[in-house]
Amino acid sequence: MSLRVDQLVAGHGKVPVVRGLDLEVESGKVLALLGPNGAGKTTVMLTLAGLLPRLGGSVSVNGQVLPSGNPGKTNSSGVVLVPDNRALFGGLTVAETLTLSQRKGGVTADQIRDLFPALTKRWKVKAGALSGGEQQMLAVARALVQKPAVLLIDEMSMGLAPVIVEGLLPIVRDIADSTGTAVILVEQHVALALEVADEAVVLVHGEVTLRRSADTLTADSEELRQAYFGKAAQPAR
């Protein structure tokens, strides 16, 4: 088991946004964290990354309980966040970004080129001059060279055309399969997210309304629709 979240209470200041969240993600698996806008998905991601202190509950990686609100120690414990704004330094080239972020044992430059062939021709181009899709590739690549045990990807498709998203999201599956990284993916393109995920959790108003395998939800879109739009919470099965 790579990541375990027990009874997480998360929010801003002392105001809880997410209550009693339980998650488990094993190595090499992808969990899609879904839900409407304002459901608390980004709050969960920021809290797991240590950028927001927990208001309750615990988070552990490989049995090690992580400190609350300490992004440095959380990152060094193997939890790496790809934020929705990508947070790149526009003046650094692709090569410089990856070199500065590289951690011993992380994905190598050659592996990055294999995962993201489009970056090969842009290796010496500054991040600020990349297209939106290329910037998202670089943001994920920067996370991978840090040797994540748990990779948190918040809205990979933010600001990108659907055709670009269709090409990017399958890479998430490749990452989990080839590196054994546990991945939590927040994504608004639900159908595409389910194609690459093993399991999905729907969060509405800070509470889990549905927890199913991705295959089950792909086959039963009505259950997913009901979870989004206010039917009674569905128990895990």
pLDDT score, position 232: 43
How far is the C-alpha of 90 from the C-alpha of 225, rounded, in Å?
Answer: 39
**Residue 3: which pLDDT band, with cuts at 50, 70 and 90?**
very high
Q: Fill in the DSSP letter of residue 87.
A: -
pLDDT score, position 163: 87
Is residue 211 within 8 A of residue 199, CB to CB? The reply is yes
Taking only the tens place, the pLDDT of each residue in 204-236 is 999 999 999 999 999 988 888 888 876 444 443
**CATH match for 3-86+149-228 among 3.40.50.720, 3.40.1710.10, 1.10.3720.10, 3.40.50.300:** 3.40.50.300
- Mean pLDDT of the residues in the chain: 92
Higher pLDDT, 162 or 128: 128
**Residue 44: which pLDDT band, with cuts at 50, 70 and 90?**
very high
Token representation of residue 175: 């990452």
Taking only the tens place, the pLDDT of each residue in 99-149 is 999 999 889 999 999 999 999 999 999 999 999 999 999 999 999 999 999
How far is the C-alpha of 71 from the C-alpha of 200, rounded, in Å?
Answer: 26
pLDDT score, position 236: 39
- Which amino acid, one-letter code, is at 52? L
Across the range 76-80, mean pLDDT stands at 95
Taking only the tens place, the pLDDT of each residue in 21-33 is 999 999 999 999 9
E-strand ranges in the chain read 3-12, 15-25, 30-34, 56-61, 64-65, 79-82, 150-154, 182-186, 199-204, 207-213
pLDDT score, position 1: 58
Across the range 194-198, mean pLDDT stands at 96
Higher pLDDT, 26 or 13: 26
Across the range 1-30, mean pLDDT stands at 94
How far is the C-alpha of 116 from the C-alpha of 118, rounded, in Å?
Answer: 5
pLDDT score, position 234: 42
pLDDT score, position 230: 63
pLDDT score, position 226: 87
User: Residue 76, CB half-sphere, CA atoms under 13 Å: how many?
Assistant: 4
